[in-house]
A and B are shown apart, each in its own frame.
Chain A
Amino acid sequence: MSDVTLRGVVKAYGPVGVIRDVSLDVADGEFVVFVGPSGCGKSTLLRMIAGLEALSGGEVLIGGARMNDVAARDRGVAMVFQNYALYPHMTVRDNMAFGLRNLRMPRDEIEARVARAAGILQLGPYLARKPAALSGGQRQRVAIGRAIVRDPKVFLFDEPLSNLDAALRVQMRTEIARLHIALGATMIYVTHDQTEAMTMADRIVVLRDGRIEQVGAPLDLYERPANLFVAGFLGSPRINMLAGRVAAVDGTDARVACAAGGDLAVRVKPGSVRDGDPVTLGLRPETLDLTAGGPLSGRVDLVEQLGSVQLVYCTLGDGTPVVSELRGRAAPKVGETVRLTASDGGMRHVFDAAERAVTLHGAPGPAAGMRAAE
């Protein structure tokens, strides 16, 4: 069993709290991604699981055993570092074999394990090279290989792809995902890149200021963000946020008057908002359409052609920037005034004044769209 449990984990440097009461269960074989902005404590949390950072409070359990006082080397974890941390004076083979030799493993067993890892990671031709003679992607593979040969209970990845160029990052992303399927091991992966989180994770843990904001499957978080922060952090381009007020509420049906003009029917949790409450509407770019009769009016600032889609950046009447993702349609010209509307059936997220989601999920969006507030 190689599940990981965090119970009320706290890390503080003097009076400064870095991790504040984090509890989490990672199941055996699960791929969990810690994601959040710089300084949210995600790397610190990972290092606490690894045993490289002491806990100020709480408990870390691996496979059900309490690890607080167990040295990093004895926790059965392997870590892949951001800067690879390859031993520069050793060959690729020695880098991978180093840990096994320290464990006094029989030579042929070491050979077999290194050969297997080299096979999985296509490192065969490079075994006799030193890290300086490898490309960034190859170094990263060696770092992963060093983790694989130890056959750890838990793999820990600390922003492993952040030093690679964009193309290589995408390639390594799929390789790590494949590796997870092949090895079936528990993996905890830290990144600040929401795309990596969305594409690789079984479950995403969104962190902010040392606290867990939300835990869930990628699509779950994308479709049902618990608050404005999670909604804003996941998804690229970013979700459009429109300030507004509740104009009318009747059970779960409500109308929100946007500050930029126009109002919009939404569904909210019963009793969560009242007439006149300030709210924020969250509309994903793919649910914001350009339509001749749309209730929102904006000026086109920029059009990005991405091939299959085009991104239209506009500024609404009250200065709110929005972006709309169009598929296979003629794009408007820069400087043109366009009308926008929320597409039927697209999720309309509603957040209250405390930035908590009050959206009613589980039912399709109301068929009635927006109407112009003229």
Chain B
Amino acid sequence: MTAAPAAAHRAARSGAAAPRRDALVALAFLAPFLVLYAGFLVYPLFKGFWISLHDWELVGTRREWIGLLNYRDLWTDRLFWMAVRNTLAFVAMTVPAMTVLALALALALQGPGRWRGVLRSVFFLSSVFSVTVVTLVWQMVLSPDNGLLVPLFRAVGAEPVNFLGSRTWAMPAIALTTLWWGVGLPMALFLAALGQIPAELYEAAELDHASRRTVLSRITLPAIRPTVLLVLVLQIVGQFQIFGQAQLMTQGGPANSTLTLVQYIYNTGFRDWLVGYASAVAMALFVLMLGFSMLQLWLGRRGDA
């Protein structure tokens, strides 16, 4: 008579203990990631914010608390706003163009066929080069003295344009370099997404008299919409951090016309040793990127409903 309630009691107790045990096991598995995440992402973020509230020298011991003074300076810093404008211009030049180009390439190169396979590899190949190689190649292409484009200008009797030395053309030239360099990965993402669309949908559309444009707009694009969103967010996050290309091709010139935010952070922090101020700029960049990514995701979600 007493055995049954006792067993039920035991069962209830172990039932309550089970979730706690599961949670502990889960935590044990998550711990390595959490440690790295906290150590290399959460802590630096807050440390960065903390530094931005100080007058903080790169080397030395000067660590003076100045509150929001760095941010107030930022508000009136002409060079900072120029870097913001340049960076936004660069993002506007690259993100939509990169997405459209990658999608167009993926649409053209998807499916079977030896040439398509070869071209897929070729277009992806540029992504594996380091930024140094890419900028070197494009500096040679764009050089007004002996660049690849010089014969073209000569052929039409024009004077070769010094792209990287022009305030108008320097940023577009960097954007073009970035497109060439970075189109491989989004193309691969689009190719993977396109491969997931069942062939039967296209056959049904063929029987439904759908034109190629209708197929693209009503079947293909809706089907890869999540990938389009992913590519856009990845591009926004990536292109806002433009540094290597501008640093190596123009050093921010001419006349700061290609100075980007990350370059400005680099110059302020590591050239001028003003780590506190550089951190404030970095916070501004962070807020900017977060805002645009959220906006993008929100727009994407809204369209889903």
Contacts and interface: CB of A to CB of B under 8 A. Distances in A.
B39 interface: no
Given A81-B200, A85-B200, A88-B223, A72 B208 contact: no
Task: Name the prevailing secondary structure of the A interface residues.
Answer: loop
Interface in A114-163: 146, 150
Interface stretch (A97-105, A256-264, A303-311, A353-361): A97-105
Given A98-B208, A102-B208, A87 B203 contact: no
A146 B214 CA distance: 17
B247 to A, nearest CB: 43
Interface residues of B, number: 17
A90 interface: yes
A46 B79 CA distance: 69
Contacts of A72: 203, 206-207
A81 B209 contact: no
B198 interface: yes
Interface string B204-239: 111111110010001100110000000000000000
Interface in A82-110: 82-83, 85-90, 98-99, 102-103
A239 interface: no
Nearest to A81: B200
B204 A73 contact: no
Interface string A43-86: 00000001010000000000000000001110001110111011
Given A87-B218, A89-B222, A77 B207 contact: yes
A98 B210 CA distance: 8
A50 B200 CA distance: 13
B207 to A, nearest CB: 6
Contact of B203 (A52, A89, A98, A146): A52
Interface in B32-59: none
A50 B90 CA distance: 50
B201 A73 contact: no
Contacts of B214: 102
B206 A89 contact: no
Contacts of A79: 203-204, 207
A99 B204 CA distance: 9
Contacts of A73: 206-209
A288 to B, nearest CB: 43
A83 B204 CA distance: 11
A169 to B, nearest CB: 20
A78 B203 CA distance: 11
B204 to A, nearest CB: 4
A98 B218 contact: yes
A96 B214 CA distance: 15
A99 B222 contact: no
B201 A85 contact: yes
A103 B209 contact: yes
B233 to A, nearest CB: 21
Given A85-B198, A102-B211, A90 B206 contact: no
Contact of B204 (A77, A87, A89, A103): A87
A99 B208 contact: yes
Contacts of A78: 207
Contacts of B223: 88-89
A99 B203 CA distance: 12
Contacts of A86: 204
Interface string B181-211: 0000000000000000010110111111111
Nearest to B197: A88
Interface in A287-307: none
Given A90-B218, A102-B214, A83 B207 contact: no
B113 to A, nearest CB: 16
A145 to B, nearest CB: 13
Contacts of A146: 204, 208
Contacts of B206: 52, 71-73
A82 B203 CA distance: 12
Interface in B256-298: none
Given A87-B201, A87-B218, 6 more contacts: A72-B203, A72-B206, A85-B200, A99-B209, A102-B210, A102-B214
Interface of B: 198, 200-201, 203-211, 214, 218-219, 222-223
28 contacts: A50-B203, A52-B206, A71-B206, A72-B206, A79-B203, A79-B204, A81-B200, A81-B203, A82-B200, A83-B198, A83-B200, A85-B203, A87-B205, A87-B219, A88-B222, A89-B218, A89-B222, A90-B218, A98-B210, A98-B218, A99-B207, A99-B208, A99-B210, A102-B208, A102-B210, A102-B211, A102-B214, A146-B204
Interface of A: 50, 52, 71-73, 77-79, 81-83, 85-90, 98-99, 102-103, 146, 150
- Closest 3 pairs between A and B when the two form their complex, measured CB to CB: A99-B208, A89-B222, A85-B200
